[in-house]
Amino acid sequence: MVLLKIKILLLAVIFITACNPFAPSKYTGEEGNLVLGDQKTVEGVFQNWRYSYIFADTSVYSNLLDKDFTFIYRNYELGIDNSWGKDIDLRITRTLFDSTESIDLIWNEIIFEIGDSLSKNILRSFNLQLSFRADDITRINGRANIQLVRSNVDEVWRILQWRDESNY
């Protein structure tokens, strides 16, 4: 009977705190009311992206990416574009989440959007703040060129390609 009460108490604590033990939040800011968006909308994709970065939630981030996802960035020192797929991106993102104390991602205006109900190309500016320590904060102002896809209008949008157009 005591074991049953402990299990019930443990479940109650988990539900009350809305804790995800598999992707625990590192966020300690004031935006506790930030919730997941409806990924059937474009804005919901960006809202979930922000959520995943703020709460260091790789499961939410992974759900944003299409199985054929590609990340592309410009290596300005070598003058070439580099790219990688979903598996490597998830590992790099996990490392980023683990190596920072906090991350804040702010999506700004959509600069350009074209497409239809199954495929969209969106160019959007953002501000990213990476806090490694209290005295080590990196701020990036950039642009993300995103290609979103879905098979039909009843499915969620997924990121097929993300081309980082930021200048560091």
Class for domain 36-164, per CATH?
A: alpha beta
Domain spans in the chain, listed from the N-terminal domain onward: 36-164
Q: What is the pLDDT of residue 100?
A: 96
Confidence label for 58 from pLDDT (cuts 50, 70 and 90): very high
Q: How far apart are CA 38 and CA 120, in angstroms?
A: 16
pLDDT at 86 (0 to 100): 98
How many Cβ atoms sit within 10 Å of the Cβ of residue 22? 8
Mean pLDDT of the 131-150 span: 95
Q: What average pLDDT score do residues 27-41 get?
A: 71
Amino acid found at 31: E
**pLDDT above 80 (res 22):** no
**Total-model pTM:** 0.79
State yes or no: pLDDT of 53 exceeds 70.
Answer: yes
Distance CA 24, CA 27 (A): 9
Q: Determine which of 2-11, 56-65, 73-82, 153-162 has the lowest per-residue pLDDT on average.
A: 2-11
